[in-house]
Amino acid sequence: MRKEGRKRYVRETKPGFVYFYRGGKYLHRFTAPEGTAEFDRQYWEVMTGKTQEAKRSWAAAIKILRTSDRWADHSPRYRQDLEPVLEYLEGKIGKHDVRRLTAADIYAAMDANKHRVRFANYIPVAVSMIAKEVLRLRWLTDNPAVGIERLKVPKGKKQPHVPWTDAAIAKFRAEAGPLERLIFEIGVGTVQRPGDWVGFRWGDYDPTGDGSLTLRQNKSDMPLVLPCTEALKAALDAAKAALPYAPMPNRFIICKQDGSAMTYRRLAEIMLAERQRLGLEAYDLHAMRYRGVMELAWAGCEDDEIMSYSGHSTKAMVRKYAGEARQIMRARQAREKRR
């Protein structure tokens, strides 16, 4: 009901629940007490249909995050994953005061994006990261993203990585273009995550002896020296020989035609197009790492030996990849004994 002296269209359904009511609809619930400056600001927004940008807005907070050490410390790939979420938040709540966001609002945003679960689950991650920056500035008294439960990927949408078969590898090596073949050999030969492939520079490659690549993993920050497989060394030497001039050490091995760095997204697009052309789209980029671990397991490597190559932090992940390879190997051994 409307109280005497109360602003037009303002109704209170029960103590503490004050709404903007017009046209037979409750259009907005006020989060600030009547008579305060914040209440007047919210009322003005609803009445005029205009949004007044708060001084301590989410857009301002996101700007602070992007210039922070916290943001700089994350890998380029991780920042690239979060950027679309930051842009989404700027578009949705950029002009709103950071104090107005609640856990219920975050859950609502996640539900609105549940058709893309990975993106939805990045929303509380991004909000929490932003909140940690402005908590230090006393813009917030608590982090609204703490305790937010992540969405689960529906079983029907889970797509396991299909390991590259011998036939698929043979076809790709025989028919793929030079750049695609180089990317492929780096993927299988180094046993690293796709996000790390674009970071290799010619200065990381030591062609002497059997050859090796050095790397500091984006995800774990672990330094690694990776002896090359014969196929990888051959692909690197061929790529280097094909350049019109000796590459500078800081030039990226996987790069655009002008020599500039290639993004992971562009690399993924190139490889998807080539796999589709060859009828091999079932075998994705991450499955190249899977295949590399399987080859190490087939060679008789123990978990610790595989981890020294792949950089996995736990044996559980190694066993996930190597388990299938060992099962196949033992089944073949059993077949020979059975004969």
CATH number (domain holding residue 267):
1.10.443.10
Quick check: is 201 in a domain? yes
Q: For the segment 288-334, what is each residue's pLDDT rounded down to a tens digit?
A: 998 998 899 888 888 888 888 888 777 777 777 787 778 888 888 88
3-class DSSP string for 249-266: CCCECCECCCCCECCHHH
Q: Are residues 75 and 217 in the same domain?
A: no
| End position of a domain, from candidates 108, 133, 157 | 157
Tell me, rounded to whole angstroms, the distance of Cα 237 from its chain centroid. Answer: 31
Question: What is the residue-wise DSSP string for 24-50?
Answer: TEEEEE--S-TTSHHHHHHHHHHHHS-
Domain that holds residue 14: 10-48
What's residue 155's pLDDT? 67
Between 317 and 14, residue with greater pLDDT: 14
pTM, two decimal places: 0.63
Q: Are residues 36 and 178 in the same domain?
A: no
Evaluate whether 225 touches 212 at the Cβ level (below 8 Å): yes
As a whole number, mean pLDDT of residues 220-235 equals 90
Evaluate whether 322 touches 306 at the Cβ level (below 8 Å): yes
Quick check: is 4 in a domain? no
Q: Could you tell me the pLDDT band of residue 24, with boundaries at 50, 70 and 90?
A: confident
| End position of a domain, from candidates 133, 157, 181 | 157
Whole-number percent of the chain with pLDDT over 70: 95
Q: Are residues 129 and 199 in the same domain?
A: no
Side-chain half-sphere of 238: how many Cα atoms within 13 Å? 15
Evaluate whether 51 touches 94 at the Cβ level (below 8 Å): no
What is the three-class DSSP state of 77?
helix
Quick check: is 252 in a domain? yes
Q: Which helix (H) or strand (E) holds 21?
A: strand 17-22
Q: For the segment 120-138, what is each residue's pLDDT rounded down to a tens digit?
A: 999 999 999 999 999 999 9
Average pLDDT of the chain is: 88
The pLDDT of residue 53 is above 70: no
Distance CA 115, CA 172 (A): 33
Q: Are residues 65 and 101 in the same domain?
A: yes
Q: Are residues 146 and 186 in the same domain?
A: no
What's residue 158's pLDDT? 59
Q: Are residues 186 and 333 in the same domain?
A: yes
Q: Write down how long the chain is.
A: 339
Quick check: is 115 in a domain? yes
The pLDDT of residue 52 is above 60: no
Distance CA 41, CA 56 (A): 14
Quick check: is 14 in a domain? yes
What's residue 73's pLDDT? 86
What's residue 120's pLDDT? 94
Q: Are residues 179 and 142 in the same domain?
A: no
Q: Are residues 309 and 222 in the same domain?
A: yes
Evaluate whether 21 touches 46 at the Cβ level (below 8 Å): no
Q: Are residues 185 and 245 in the same domain?
A: yes
Quick check: is 331 in a domain? yes
Q: Are residues 85 and 18 in the same domain?
A: no
The pLDDT of residue 2 is above 60: no
Quick check: is 328 in a domain? yes
What is the three-class DSSP state of 122?
helix
Q: For the segment 150-164, what is each residue's pLDDT rounded down to a tens digit?
A: 998 776 665 667 889
What's residue 83's pLDDT? 93
Q: Could you tell me the pLDDT band of residue 54, with boundaries at 50, 70 and 90?
A: low
Domain total for the chain? 3
Q: Could you tell me the pLDDT band of residue 141, with boundaries at 50, 70 and 90?
A: very high
Quick check: is 3 in a domain? no
Q: For the segment 251-296, what is each residue's pLDDT rounded down to a tens digit?
A: 999 998 888 889 888 999 999 999 999 999 999 998 999 899 889 9
Q: Are residues 204 and 320 in the same domain?
A: yes
Q: For the segment 167-211, what is each residue's pLDDT rounded down to a tens digit?
A: 999 999 999 999 999 999 999 999 998 889 999 999 999 999 889
Q: In this structure, is the dihedral angle defined by the CA atoms of residues 6, 11, 13 and 18, taken in order, positive or negative? A: negative
Q: Are residues 144 and 228 in the same domain?
A: no
